[in-house]
Amino acid sequence: MNQRSSVWIVVGVVVAGLPLLLLLTLVLLSPSDGTTATSSVGGKTTGVPEQYQRAVETAGAVCSEISGPLIAAQINAESGWNPTAQSGVGAEGISQFMPATWASVGRDGDGDSKADVWNATDAIVTQGYYMCQLAAQVKADIATGKVRGDVSALTLAAYNAGLGSVEAAGGIPAFPETSNYVTTILAAAGGYTAGGGTAVTGDVGGAISWAEGIAADNTNAYVWGGNGRQDGGYDCSGLTQAFMARLGVTLPRTAAEQQQEGHQITAEQAQPGDLIFYGDPAYHVAIYIGNGRMVSADNEQDGINTEAVYGSPSGYRRYR
């Protein structure tokens, strides 16, 4: 559930089939240093109904703060995996989005050009992106001292009670229902194990974290023809080639050659780990990391950056 009153939050928890008496006995135990309580991202999450496996995998690879197991535990608490669930206050679908929230964040998760809250794939993928948006805001609040606590716990609280309530409280709001919601999901996430990916070798989330680390380390320069530290850095296609190698995918060296591999997808279908191309034949390529952002080795002046997708890409391609 997201952004509703604390009274109705209890109703949502009961609808999910969790014993209220048990919830009220839980104590919120989460680190206070801003680290995440669940760090596995990408890959297959065991314990998830098979028909939702791919959607949970996608949602868990959007950002490093929100894992597949966390998404799975949250869905179980929200709806018990029921795609037709509807709460008394009007929350809808498997991820229990309020209509107003869905209107602003709903995404097409299955490529049918429609964002439908009653479509489980759309809802779960949107859940991943929305949770990552909240996580980014929470991290910014932690950095400025506005809130204190664990990123995952605070993000769950924001999904449940609204970011404004978290910011006003400086942490987990003093609503028993919200504390119980957070604690229950964090505890349950341990029951879902993130394993290897189903289509490629390696971990998409880990590979994205690697690429973001390259961008964050200014000793990695943009170097024309560069293939890594031994050359002082990377150019665009050298970076994407190294990124895909971490996923067990071998790509040719230039952007134009990489554009001929894999298969074309639309911008709306893009998932973390896909590549973004500029020009045809391509003169530039970057790594899509979700939420409208990419890691890109831009040029000698700007270097290697994590940034919003800019300009007008000529296409997106998937290799898994």
Distance from C-alpha of 319 to C-alpha of 199, rounded to nearest angstrom: 9
CA dihedral sign of residues 309, 41, 73, 197: positive
Nearest alpha carbon to residue 26 among 150, 182, 148, 192: 182
Distance from C-alpha of 206 to C-alpha of 195, rounded to nearest angstrom: 12
Distance from C-alpha of 95 to C-alpha of 72, rounded to nearest angstrom: 10
CB 87 within 8 A of CB 169: no
Residue 167 annotated to the active site: no
Three-state DSSP state, 308: strand
Structure tokens at 203: 């971990």
Distance from C-alpha of 66 to C-alpha of 105, rounded to nearest angstrom: 17
Distance from C-alpha of 50 to C-alpha of 188, rounded to nearest angstrom: 19
- The H or E element spanning position 6 is helix 6-15
Crossing angle of helices 68-79/151-161, nearest 10°? 30
Q: Among residues 50, 57, 65, 78, which one is catalytic? A: 78
Which residues are catalytic, by number? 78
